[in-house]
Structure 1
């Protein structure tokens, strides 16, 4: 079962010729989620072949570089005869502003657009095998990040042990693996824990949006497979980062290290580093010894299950 991340926009507030404003698309088993939707996101979706069949947009906050792509995307979906509903999840007291964008220029979408205000520290989307949680962040306005957290998976099925116990090859294997006891022809009952190992964790992906380093992100990102964190500035601009409600790459690395994440993607890169973002990578790597990289527009990343 696949999970693929496509970085559509990795710039800070001002785009560059190489980086568009913030947007990340996650394709989990064919269901597509868009995290933030900066200006030009629809063109990035075309350019990088993600497909337009998104079911949810998760908005971290109302700054323009995270939302100004919504009107164009909505209208293009409409022109392509979309009929499925689209859910947009936004911070508290943001509904009216997002409605204005959805209806920009007097446009009336021909498909349902449902805007949900969600408080930090709750669940924005509860699906059958995973949920998208909200996490408190610290920016200059109402803001929040998101964590896509999968349910635990069943433990490994011990086929050899099942056969030793006399379980016939076939449907009873599947029933045991799904947690159901089975009765054999001789009347014996085989319980799942006799042939199935301990539950295995699902995948966890965290996207912060714009934020200062916060404990809430450390908590929700504990042992995450991928943390996508604000890394707007290099270390010599840490005072500016503090003043503007952003993080330095080093601070992002410290969050990743505290959380024990597997991989750290640095994003929301200030345009001042258009010709030299490698220093951000180096500074984060000085405090985080996992895999660390500055994300680039168009970069695709598969998120495997934890070993």
Structure 2
């Protein structure tokens, strides 16, 4: 699992940062890409980062402010220019269906693939299959804003083939039973327990990607024990009153959430245009005073989970 930031600016783009968009690269795990938010020029940023629209499987929107939304019509309609596209699922706050329908109709555009839209009004389990689970919780912002907790399910233990060979065990038709940790009787009369020949269960990764919010309990719940937390830090701590007034968090707020949630790692993003890249060190130092394992995102920065 890899996370690439396609845009890290709050409100409007700058010469150094595009607006909010994050790509979760799951091509190794499921051959697909999951996009979180889609500010303007997201499809251009995807091209620069060499992400194909055809690989998109899910798009998750945190909220419907323009800096997280205005690139979505381009992503959806450009994908229709490619032949035989697979179905796409779009998850976001209530109103996103009306927005897409209106844009498509007024612009005389079209979609050539099935688009499944899931509108959120409350905390929900929005996706689950044999490998992943995604839940959404409502945060506290000026408009409904959600955070997402993405959990990779634990991978089953693998059989220790070397140990089986050492004990002169031919697994043959018993493979499935041994892999599940069951007891089997071999042709030579020996009875063995599959659990004795299993390796360790590989724990799945957990991450939380939060939308715009002031500090709240839902943020802590989503980030509990995650390997990686992505949290907005629109302002420095000296501008705390301004941040709260506009429904945003500061560097210290984000770090405090990470600490309370016992997250392993924090990446701050959604940086106010008032700050240039030269201010990154000041901002990340503030956060590190509370939560040491903090990094600040820049456009096209990639983080392995």
Q: Structure 2-normalised TM-score?
A: 0.90
Report the counterpart of residue 31 of structure 1 in structure 2: 32
Tell me how many residue pairs correspond in the alignment: 300
Report the counterpart of residue 276 of structure 1 in structure 2: 279
State the Cα deviation string for residues 95-134 of structure 1 (Å, max 9, x = none).
2123324545121212222211134432211122111211
> 1:270 Cα deviation (Å)?
0.4
The 8 Å contact of residues 235 and 271 in structure 2, kept in 1 or not, is answered as yes
The 8 Å contact of residues 177 and 192 in structure 1, kept in 2 or not, is answered as yes
The 8 Å contact of residues 148 and 222 in structure 2, kept in 1 or not, is answered as no
> 1:282 Cα deviation (Å)?
0.6
Distance (whole Å) between structure 1 residues aligned to residue 104 and residue 289 of structure 2 = 43
Report the counterpart of residue 115 of structure 1 in structure 2: 117
Report the counterpart of residue 11 of structure 1 in structure 2: 9
> 1:217 Cα deviation (Å)?
2.2
Distance (whole Å) between structure 2 residues aligned to residue 289 and residue 178 of structure 1 = 41
CA 1:159/1:92 → structure 2, altered by over 3 Å: closer, same or farther? Answer: same
Distance (whole Å) between structure 2 residues aligned to residue 239 and residue 184 of structure 1 = 71
> 1:289 Cα deviation (Å)?
2.2
The 8 Å contact of residues 16 and 271 in structure 1, kept in 2 or not, is answered as yes
The 8 Å contact of residues 138 and 144 in structure 2, kept in 1 or not, is answered as no
List aligned pairs for 1:146-225, cutoff 5 A. 146-155=148-157, 157-158=159-160, 162=164, 167-168=169-170, 172=174, 175-196=177-198, 199-225=201-227
Q: Secondary structure at the match of 1:55?
A: strand
> 1:181 Cα deviation (Å)?
4.2
Distance (whole Å) between structure 1 residues aligned to residue 104 and residue 288 of structure 2 = 40
The 8 Å contact of residues 225 and 263 in structure 1, kept in 2 or not, is answered as yes
The 8 Å contact of residues 136 and 216 in structure 1, kept in 2 or not, is answered as yes
Q: Secondary structure at the match of 1:134?
A: strand
> 1:209 Cα deviation (Å)?
1.5
Distance (whole Å) between structure 1 residues aligned to residue 149 and residue 106 of structure 2 = 29
The 8 Å contact of residues 6 and 24 in structure 1, kept in 2 or not, is answered as yes
Distance (whole Å) between structure 2 residues aligned to residue 104 and residue 161 of structure 1 = 65
Report the counterpart of residue 290 of structure 2 in structure 1: 287
CA 1:8/1:178 → structure 2, altered by over 3 Å: closer, same or farther? Answer: farther
> 1:93 Cα deviation (Å)?
4.5
> 1:276 Cα deviation (Å)?
1.2
The 8 Å contact of residues 163 and 169 in structure 1, kept in 2 or not, is answered as no
Q: Structure 1-normalised TM-score?
A: 0.89
The 8 Å contact of residues 79 and 85 in structure 2, kept in 1 or not, is answered as no
Instruction: List alignment gaps of at least 5 residues for structure 1.
Output: none
Instruction: List alignment gaps of at least 5 residues for structure 2.
Output: none
CA 1:73/1:236 → structure 2, altered by over 3 Å: closer, same or farther? Answer: same
Distance (whole Å) between structure 1 residues aligned to residue 233 and residue 172 of structure 2 = 51
List aligned pairs for 1:24-63, cutoff 5 A. 24-28=22-26, 29=28, 30-52=31-53, 53-63=55-65
> 1:165 Cα deviation (Å)?
5.6
CA 1:107/1:257 → structure 2, altered by over 3 Å: closer, same or farther? Answer: same
Distance (whole Å) between structure 1 residues aligned to residue 164 and residue 189 of structure 2 = 16
CA 1:177/1:298 → structure 2, altered by over 3 Å: closer, same or farther? Answer: same
Distance (whole Å) between structure 2 residues aligned to residue 72 and residue 92 of structure 1 = 20
Distance (whole Å) between structure 2 residues aligned to residue 91 and residue 217 of structure 1 = 17
Distance (whole Å) between structure 2 residues aligned to residue 98 and residue 37 of structure 1 = 13
Report the counterpart of residue 256 of structure 2 in structure 1: 254
Distance (whole Å) between structure 1 residues aligned to residue 81 and residue 255 of structure 2 = 42
> 1:84 Cα deviation (Å)?
1.5
The 8 Å contact of residues 250 and 280 in structure 1, kept in 2 or not, is answered as no
